[in-house]
A and B are shown apart, each in its own frame.
Chain A
């Protein structure tokens, strides 16, 4: 008979109303056997008590419903962002608030590379450095003998040095859209949009998608998640081709691998039937730590890129409405096929016109192919109003709101994109909760850093970078915020029978914290220190 371990903790926040708090949790076979006091496992037989977490507070392992494997893979490259960020090994990379700081940091990084090896950096965002535009002269200070490529956080723009321009064949004779030039026709180093970036990316071998499928990247993803208390995480829009599945199966099966991954394949580049067939085939390969079978649909673009499809009155700057990456007709077809085949969908919708089309499409599919409990999830769903939340609740559609946007882009949204009124109610957690929608909140890592306590802090406080509170009425209570990153997220992923609360019968997945997040000032929620996690009863401390 398997033996029983009883973990003693300073406090356990279970997120289960039957026993909201406890001091001990008993684990057998990787699952929660009992929750309560020191003797909670007594009726189950002999047990040993593990005191290694006795000074910690336990919560259910955090669940991230919208992130990408790239969040780990990126760290093979240099970080060039404005905000502080921690790498998979726990090293804090302080934010670079001037171009000089970027140059200095990247020069240090260049010194660690082999001769001639390209220097690639990521995370640079000119929105936060409005004084001077990054150009080739800055990057030439870093290196003249190797290509230097700084990818902007939008992924639509990059800046490169002279060596990289030479590789691509861009010079004063170049007349190519997106290759920016100065008054004399000389390229500045800034390359806009994929077509102009492509010749450089191709030559420096810059391929995040391929990188994301590598074994080291999967391990990095595990580490990034482990640092912030995450035990279950999606990889939305995964590419699982060739031997990628075998790699995923092998890595996740390792006892030392600290997370469960829920990859959903991108519904693009094939017919709806082919995508459905691939998803169903993958579903058969699922394990405890690798949950396959879902799909991700794209619809519109992004709000800050003015490519989201928004309803009247549109964008405050008068920009034209955004673009569909999947035609509404195709959205209808995909929804119908996935619903018919019993495949759970995650659907990217930023603008409120996109969320409306998707709700309509799911409703139409449901009429044809009834399937209660599908729990399709609208991802981002940033501009949904009460009317759309009510419909989502009626139809059993879940939403995953982009709470981190409030902090990072809230000021921009109020001033430059959708204006004050709609920015105040965007990522409307309160409206979703009040309408009875099952919802969670997310980081979209690496777009913003992974960190569910930070994400909950955003939803609870709605503070922006400028320090204002954007839409006080949409704030969640602290407990609601914690619910959203645990049981709420688990529900949207259809995994609430297994994870999301510290309840007998569920997986023994815990976030290990140094203080009780329910006892701190809500404004300090993001500052609660994560010490590690427990996954299936195995302790993974940092």
Chain B
């Protein structure tokens, strides 16, 4: 699918949760993507010298095509600058400040027709999260960062403690991964995934479930919305064209808990693809859902 809109992924989480560690890893191994990363400061960005093409006061240019910039005091002006770049990067990643509501940043990608929503990753520090959540000063903002996430990355632990897992589940239906599962993060949110199933994802672990559908009824907007609202929770991403009942079609795009519809010319046929983590969803779940009358 030829979609020229710039995808935006926002990385949220409190100070010290591990946002920068994730960014370092993505910059070092961007999976062939030309990433543009806006960060609060360069303090902890740690790029191997061999990978560094040039560096100035507020921009690091990498030999792998990635660029890392400080966003300065005005985030939205920084986004405007990225949109004005020629050529545009393949993917924009923004590191939210430790107290920011990532959804307010990601909302720009939903509003701006030249951008597309590429999910919110919230990094959670396993040691401090429960305490922070109870903090009368900052707890409410920590909670907001968690509830808006499409992907929760848990840092500073080898396995997600059961109590934390339960606590996070009450706040958000988002997938929970360990912070070092960067490959999975990249597969789910960064690399183009809606290609023919033959090429990527040949890796043994973790596994993904791929689903596709090329048929279905013609939908009204409300009917399609209602059906999408009941999609299997493990169907992490969803994208494609759906025929409408009014002579026009829909472009459907789902990431985590978010799904957006926009109107397009009526497609020749409905064509949807989806991806989820193995063990969280099955093709049969998806088929059953899509064929719901």
Contact = CB atoms under 8 A, between A and B. Distances in A.
A169 B110 CA distance: 12
Interface in B6-33: 14-15
Contact of B110 (A195, A269, A271, A274): A195
Contact of A199 (B14, B73, B113): B113
Given A175-B261, A320-B140, A321-B140, A327 B107 contact: no
A198 B110 CA distance: 11
Interface stretch (A59-67, A176-184, A477-485): A176-184
B99 A173 contact: no
Contacts, number: 97
Given A269-B70, A324-B138, A199 B112 contact: yes
Contact of B70 (A176, A195, A270): A270
Contact of A168 (B79, B80, B83, B113): B113
A237 B74 CA distance: 11
A169 B113 contact: yes
Contact of A268 (B73, B76, B141): B73
Nearest to A270: B41
B76 A198 contact: yes
Contacts of A357: 137
B80 to A, nearest CB: 5
A193 interface: yes
Interface in B103-132: 104-105, 107-108, 110-113
Most buried by B among A177, A179, A269, A323: A269
Given A169-B113, A237-B73, A269 B41 contact: yes
A89 B293 CA distance: 69
A198 B79 contact: yes
Given A198-B112, A357-B137, A177 B107 contact: yes
B262 interface: yes
A202 B70 CA distance: 20
B71 interface: yes
Contacts of B104: 193-195
A202 B83 CA distance: 9
Contacts of B107: 176-178, 193, 195-196
A176 B261 CA distance: 10
B87 to A, nearest CB: 18
Most buried by B among A177, A195, A239, A273: A195
B43 interface: yes
Interface in B54-105: 70-74, 76-77, 79-80, 83, 97-99, 101, 104-105
A202 B72 contact: no
B122 to A, nearest CB: 15
A179 B111 contact: yes
Contacts of A320: 140
B213 to A, nearest CB: 23
A329 interface: yes
Given A202-B80, A271-B43, A323 B141 contact: yes
Nearest to B225: A175
Contact of B73 (A201, A269, A321): A269
Nearest to A324: B99
B111 A176 contact: yes
Contacts of B141: 323-324
B133 to A, nearest CB: 14
B40 interface: yes
B183 interface: no
Nearest to A275: B41
A198 B78 CA distance: 11
Given A176-B111, A199-B112, A266 B73 contact: yes
A209 B76 CA distance: 11
Interface in B278-293: none
A266 B260 CA distance: 36
A390 B112 CA distance: 49
A141 interface: no
Interface residues of B, number: 35
B99 A323 contact: yes
Nearest to A309: B137
Contacts of A266: 73
A329 B140 CA distance: 15
A178 B140 CA distance: 22
B134 to A, nearest CB: 15
Interface in A395-434: none
Nearest to B260: A175
Most buried by A among B15, B80, B141, B260: B80
Contacts of B263: 173
B76 A194 contact: yes
A279 B95 CA distance: 24
Contacts of B73: 209, 237, 239, 266, 268-269
A173 B110 contact: no
Interface in A264-308: 266, 268-271, 273-274
A521 interface: no
A207 interface: yes
A326 B99 contact: yes
A325 B40 contact: no
A311 to B, nearest CB: 11
A385 interface: no
Nearest to B38: A269
Contacts of A321: 140
A168 B111 CA distance: 9
A177 B110 contact: yes
B282 to A, nearest CB: 30
A241 interface: yes
Contact of A194 (B14, B43, B108, B262): B108
Contacts of B260: 175
A173 B262 CA distance: 7
A326 B112 CA distance: 27
A156 to B, nearest CB: 11
A8 to B, nearest CB: 47
A431 to B, nearest CB: 25
Contacts of B98: 327, 329-330
Sorted nearest first, the 3 A-B pairs with minimum C-beta distance are: A195-B107, A169-B113, A173-B263
Interface of B: 14-15, 40-41, 43, 70-74, 76-77, 79-80, 83, 97-99, 101, 104-105, 107-108, 110-113, 137-138, 140-141, 260-263
Interface of A: 168-169, 173, 175-179, 193-196, 198-199, 201-202, 207, 209-210, 237, 239, 241, 266, 268-271, 273-274, 309, 320-321, 323-330, 353, 357
30 contacts: A168-B111, A168-B113, A173-B262, A173-B263, A175-B260, A176-B111, A177-B111, A178-B111, A193-B107, A195-B110, A196-B107, A198-B79, A198-B80, A199-B113, A201-B76, A202-B80, A202-B83, A239-B74, A268-B73, A269-B41, A269-B70, A270-B41, A309-B137, A320-B140, A321-B140, A324-B137, A325-B99, A327-B98, A328-B137, A330-B99
Given A195-B107, A199-B112, 10 more contacts: A176-B111, A177-B110, A202-B112, A241-B72, A266-B73, A271-B43, A324-B137, A327-B99, A328-B137, A329-B98
